[in-house]
Structure 1
Amino acid sequence: MFDVFESLKSITKIDGVCIDNNIFRLHYKFTVLCLVAFSILVTCRQYFGDPIDCIQNDDIPEDVLETFCWIHTTFTLPDAWNKRVGIDVPHPGIDKYTEGETRKYHSYYQWVCFVLFLQAIFFYVPRYLWKTWEGGKVRNLLLGLNCPILKKEDKEQGKELLIGYLKNHLYNHSNYVLCYTICEVLNLVNVIGQIYLIDTFLGGEFSRFGTEVLHFTGLDQEYRTDPMVRVFPRMTKCTFHRYGSSGDVQKHDALCILPLNILNEKIYIFLWFWFITLAVLSAIVLAYRMLIIFWPASRFLALRSRSRIVDKKDLHVVLSRANLGDWFLLHLLCKNLEPLNFRDLIKDFAAELKEGEKLLEKRSLDNYKAF
């Protein structure tokens, strides 16, 4: 069975350069891994048997009946859900059908593996967009300064080149942070949209699925009806029509077992709790991003919390002359650079900025005197 998931190793690979945050990674790593694994799992017939097995007493070939019921969907009777199993009905939702009675058709099980894989693609889209827009900028700017052991001349050369880039490109990273913020918004929109997508896919049952399961666990055994069995029934009905020996249309009733629904119900109860949690975490991250954008003082606190060994004065000098895009680039560099190298970078960058301002003031004064 482990051979089935061998291809998922690439998803779990840890990136050498960090260009996002932990919540972002939960979207495109953990969630994508889970969805792809679930999609593969529900197609493993050798581990869970046939997706449908039908029981009938007529001479209809078994494979013909099962193929027909799989293609044309099966159904349950909502009026039979609350009847006593073993006394009034043989199984939950299974009863004798009378003309005009409401049927609930179950067709989702044909598409579960495809929908799960499509969801995985949607969760990876923001990551793909951000990698495309980011273009390897942070990786190219590291210049070996992410290594703890580095020759002094290599360290000085890398630091000098990086400071030169930061100084010459001040105020030029606004689009950089804008693209990242758009991807964070897409993460939140995507996870909320996924909840509504699954709710539509399961006939409006997913939005309250988790709360009903929690409520179910708190009820007495003799008075409770499992909501997971109602959404993912193990036993359903199927009606097959054919011509009889006299040419009349005959109706054949069959009971169909859906063994994969035992797995499907576990998958979707996990996804309900996970998507709700992920949506809350994504909303918190987006609120944090808005705080960073509209309260400049928070940028100093955020960067200071990640780089305790950096001198406060040097950090204040740099951030007082940098805008939001410059702060964001420094924040990513702080995540990737060796802490001591980042401290020295900020120290030298602050000195460079102050020296540049003094030189500019001197030129302005000379021009004024000459005038």
Structure 2
Amino acid sequence: MLAAITTLTPRMRFNFSKPNIENTVFKLHYKFTVTMLLAFVILVCSREYFGDQIRCISDQGVPNNVIQTYCFFMATFTIVRHYNESLLQTGFLPHPGVGPILDNDETLHHKYYQWVPFVLFIQSICFYIPHYIWKKKEGGRIKALVDGLQYASLALHDQDMTVKNKTVPSKATLQKKIELIRKDIILRLRISRTWSTWLIAMEVTNLLHVMFQIWLINIFLNGHFINLGSTVINFRNWEGIADPLETVFPKVTKCLFHKYGPSGTIQQHDALCVMALNIIHEKIYTILWFWFLFLFIVSLLAVIWRIVSYFVYRRSLKFNDLLFKQVTSSKFNPHNVIRVVNGCEFADWLFLYYLAKNMQGAIFEQLFRTLAEELEKRELPMEQQGYEEKGGEPVLLSRTEFDDETLPLKSEKTLL
């Protein structure tokens, strides 16, 4: 078990060298929730600490290993009318839900314990799938653009430097990198919009997936999961015998085994089964109830935030200033902000926001200023900008294809 926990530990570490391509809520889905579910799988499968899942005792005539195997695969049950606090207190019933059975008694059958580790493992895979899809669609684009800019603020020399396996770019390298990012944003806006569209789609998928998982677990626990947390909160007498969780996770259950007697008569054997792991199952699903509730709320707020951003990003200069200042700690020229916001769609704006989260403030401010100048220039006719349209895409003209007197192009040094 300790070896398994050691294996899960690296999942909880934050790697600051990796690009930040999603928000914190997204990380709660594929990092924290997946790790939690895998830890629960390990916990449930650790029989050396909690014993076997089921232990049954019966009258003589049936070997214990036979009755235990039969009851594990065929499920056990409890009797509804024997969940009686007064009878338990007076000693007429040995355990909640366990007692004599009549023909018209309502019973609760418990089969979930056979599938708990499998369901938890499949759930962990399901929570990771949106992140996996997003990584494939993102394609490492943010990393490709910002790679090598971690120490861009130290670009004071004329040549690249290597210090402890870390590369400090030169001033010329920094200028080329910023120019590359600017061209990528200007000439490939459609790809940027696809990038942002997939990000938003996966954030909505996370919200819908949490709702689906809550519905799925509720079916798995025979409709007892929806109000499980509220039941735990409302149950204040923790020392009482009739714990409301006993109806969902009974610690002692009944099992009926039939076999032929010596003369061919069918004999019924009544077995009493101890469900050792239910003490763990009830804790796991109580934690999952509160965690999924929290995850649903923050996922819903994240989607609402995206919707609000869509309607506000072009209407509020202060909104843009506060948002970019939060991730870059830099003060932006209001005129540059207006140029960029008016020249971009929401998907382009969102892509810029994630660039800001992965770049140093001073470097992004320089890129932002350059991009504002470029977008202002793009308001001119395409031929005056130095571009022509080929195959529906803008293509940069060569220096010999236009007249310097009619083309008010700014030099690269001026742009930067």
TM-score by length of 1: 0.92
1:92 partner amino acid: P
State the partner residue of 1:318.
340
2:264 partner amino acid: G
Of the three residues 186, 189, 192, the one matched with 2:205 is 186
The Cα of 1:305 is off from its aligned counterpart by 3.3
Q: What are the within-5 Å matches in structure 2 for residues 263-274 of structure 1?
A: 263-274=280-291
State the partner residue of 1:161.
180
Provide the C-alpha distance between the structure 2 equivalents of 1:129 and 1:282, rounded to a whole number of angstroms.
18
State the partner residue of 1:97.
101
Mapped contact 2:185–2:192 kept (Cα < 8 A):
no
State the partner residue of 2:275.
258
State the partner residue of 2:413.
none
State the partner residue of 2:303.
286
The Cα of 1:40 is off from its aligned counterpart by 1.8
State the partner residue of 2:226.
207
State the partner residue of 1:226.
243
Instruction: Evaluate the alpha carbon distance shift between residue 351 and residue 366 of structure 1 in structure 2; reply closer, same or farther with a 3 A threshold.
Output: closer
Provide the C-alpha distance between the structure 1 equivalents of 2:10 and 2:340, rounded to a whole number of angstroms.
39
1:101 partner amino acid: D
State the partner residue of 1:58.
60
Structure with the largest fraction of helix:
1
Instruction: Evaluate the alpha carbon distance shift between residue 158 and residue 221 of structure 1 in structure 2; reply closer, same or farther with a 3 A threshold.
Output: same
Provide the C-alpha distance between the structure 1 equivalents of 2:346 and 2:205, rounded to a whole number of angstroms.
20
The CA deviation string for residues 240-290 of structure 1, in whole angstroms up to 9 with x for no partner, is 111112221111111100010000000000000000110010000000111
Mapped contact 2:78–2:254 kept (Cα < 8 A):
yes
Provide the C-alpha distance between the structure 2 equivalents of 1:333 and 1:288, rounded to a whole number of angstroms.
19
Provide the C-alpha distance between the structure 2 equivalents of 1:127 and 1:360, rounded to a whole number of angstroms.
39
Q: What are the within-5 Å matches in structure 2 for residues 33-72 of structure 1?
A: 33-72=35-74
Q: Does 1:305 align with 2:326?
A: yes
Provide the C-alpha distance between the structure 2 equivalents of 1:164 and 1:330, rounded to a whole number of angstroms.
13
The CA deviation string for residues 111-145 of structure 1, in whole angstroms up to 9 with x for no partner, is 00000111111111111111111111111111412
2:271 partner amino acid: A
Q: Does 1:329 align with 2:333?
A: no
The Cα of 1:71 is off from its aligned counterpart by 0.5
1:344 partner amino acid: Q
Structure 1 vs Structure 2: percent identity of aligned residues? 37
Answer with 270-279 or 33-42: which moved more: 33-42
Provide the C-alpha distance between the structure 2 equivalents of 1:53 and 1:363, rounded to a whole number of angstroms.
80
The Cα of 1:103 is off from its aligned counterpart by 1.2
Q: What are the within-5 Å matches in structure 2 for residues 165-180 of structure 1?
A: 165-170=184-189, 172-180=191-199
Moved runs in structure 1, 4+ residues, more than 4 A? 219-222, 355-367
Relative contact order (alpha carbons < 8 A, sep ≥ 6): 1 or 2 greater?
1
1:17 partner amino acid: P
Instruction: Evaluate the alpha carbon distance shift between residue 66 and residue 220 of structure 1 in structure 2; reply closer, same or farther with a 3 A threshold.
Output: closer
Local SS of the residue matching 2:189: coil
The Cα of 1:23 is off from its aligned counterpart by 0.3
The Cα of 1:213 is off from its aligned counterpart by 0.7
Local SS of the residue matching 1:140: helix
Answer with 108-117 or 155-164: which moved more: 155-164
